[in-house]
Structure 1
């Protein structure tokens, strides 16, 4: 199997010319009352949805913006509607990232991959009644947390059980957004066997649910082994017509300031696309930490949209 993956990786590099990735990015509506500890961080997020907001170059190039559940839950309806209306005006598609494994007697894990059914339905109901058109739902690492995670509440469910549970959850999502495409974030680390399991998981998901995953977005720790594992994963997903997304963010040693987060994230663009030669279908620029502390303006180093702008400019030169 290892030899097969090596052959696939080489074939992928030889057969795949460089091409521009779709740019996905993190954002959200204005939040009047942030979660404790997040006060004042990215407080300009709501300013993005004004017609003259200073991210015009980025807005013209971004294909998808992804909201997190907390962005939706904590936003007032009026602020959510403003953001959703501006996304439509700018012709940017909306994705929502959330856990889709419903807690039940089957498994009551407390990780982010699992969610209470009412919480999930409330999320999609709030989006629908405020005018959202959810094009994509990104599942929050269901295979990693459902199958591999070693945390105290983990259930180590089989791939078949996970896929069946997700089939039922997806049916609920489609009550609200019938045409939403379903993809997933998943951990990619230095383990070769894990990459093989992840690829096999895409086959199980398709067999059980009756539809392929629309994409996998990789959550890397940015150590050398995890980055190199993008090669066999990219080759295998290409064969299966599953889009590969790479989440570009900073490693844990470089997320302590806006400047360090930005510099380190930008270095990962070159590491993957120039150094490794992997060109993702989706370049997913995202943060789960408190940096960068500002979204705008795009022409100011250290802001979130400036990092997206630098990705755009880098690819225009290549």
Structure 2
């Protein structure tokens, strides 16, 4: 009813048209498509390597049209360790030619003499971070983004084997120690993180903790936390309410929000195609039913499926989910 009234008033004259249509534009959502982070994933398996070869290593190799919608190509620390210098230089050159940013998916917390963090997700020796930064520099890279691997969760809340049980300030100190090795070489890199949900929202003081984390991060690192990617545990039935909570919180504290669009661990009977279709159902439900549209749409998987980035002779890859997502926004 309100939009019909605006249109009638806008027809009443030129001055009213300018004023009222400006009001109508502010009242409508901007409809801007989320930025896309596309993670390359596996590098050592035959299927995984073929995706890298197709996109980056072959002279005049394929660059599918959907890749033109990708803001950032993400490389896991575990892949960055393995990739030869000559191949990394090819990746860097191709991304620059296509005007796509390079993103590093970082194990961001420093080990220390106490021995905690061994075998715990997200920890990495500071000297090895420096080695990777130098490797990227030799390849001619310009690191646009860094996404840290769940530092608040594994540093502060996690209580399993070799847990550091760090205070939030100590998590920020550990992160700053490792991050500084990248930022010395790539000072303009934009730094964000991923965190697990509903694990975070299950904590009774999570909002206060998260505000503390953002403040401590800024103080220790020297730049604000630029985004948080929601890593959803799809097997927990309350994940929709958790997502709504974090989306509301992110809006309140002006924190850009990303969502990792994938599916949960596949049972033995599940096929690759069924897993990919589950990922499509997940993002469709989030954006069309829950009406949560993130600033970043992240396409990445650590599960058995799809096991490679591009659809090819090995079957549908991660790009299947991306293409379906682009269709939704088209």
TM range (shorter): 0.7 to 0.9
Please, which of 211, 218, 242 is the counterpart of residue 206 of structure 1?
218
Q: Does 1:302 align with 2:319?
A: no
Match of residue 237 from structure 1: 250
Segment of structure 1 superposing worse, 288-297 or 278-287: 288-297
**Alignment RMSD, CA only?**
2.6
Structure 2, unpaired ranges of 5+: 1-26
Describe the superposition over 1:209-245 as per-residue Cα deviations: whole angstroms up to 9, x where unpaired.
Answer: 4422011111111233123212221222223232101
Match of residue 47 from structure 2: 41
Structure 1, unpaired ranges of 5+: 1-13
Q: How many residues align?
A: 296
In 2, are the aligned partners of 1:195 and 1:233 still within 8 Å (CA)? no
Higher relative contact order (CA 8 A, sep 6+): 1
3-state SS of the aligned residue for 1:213?
A: coil
In 2, are the aligned partners of 1:54 and 1:297 still within 8 Å (CA)? no
TM-score (norm 1): 0.84
Q: Does 1:185 align with 2:197?
A: no
Q: Indicate the structure (1 or 2) with the bigger Cα radius of gyration.
A: 2
Distance across 2 between alignment mates of 1:253 and 1:163 = 34
Distance across 1 between alignment mates of 2:139 and 2:76 = 16
Question: After TM superposition, what 4+ stretches of structure 1 lie above 6 angstroms from structure 2?
Answer: 298-301
Match of residue 169 from structure 2: 160
Counterparts in 2 of 1:130 and 1:116: CA distance versus 1, 3 Å: same
Match of residue 288 from structure 1: 302
Q: Does 1:264 align with 2:278?
A: yes
TM-score (norm 2): 0.81
Counterparts in 2 of 1:192 and 1:168: CA distance versus 1, 3 Å: closer
Distance across 2 between alignment mates of 1:299 and 1:59 = 19
3-state SS of the aligned residue for 2:225?
A: coil
Describe the superposition over 1:47-81 as per-residue Cα deviations: whole angstroms up to 9, x where unpaired.
Answer: 11247645522211000110011211111111111
Distance across 2 between alignment mates of 1:98 and 1:75 = 15
Report 1:1-318 matches (<5 A): 18-27=31-40, 31=43, 34=44, 39-45=45-51, 46-49=53-56, 50=58, 53-106=61-114, 108-110=116-118, 111-189=120-198, 191=202, 193=204, 195-196=206-207, 197-222=209-234, 223-253=236-266, 256-297=270-311, 302-316=316-330
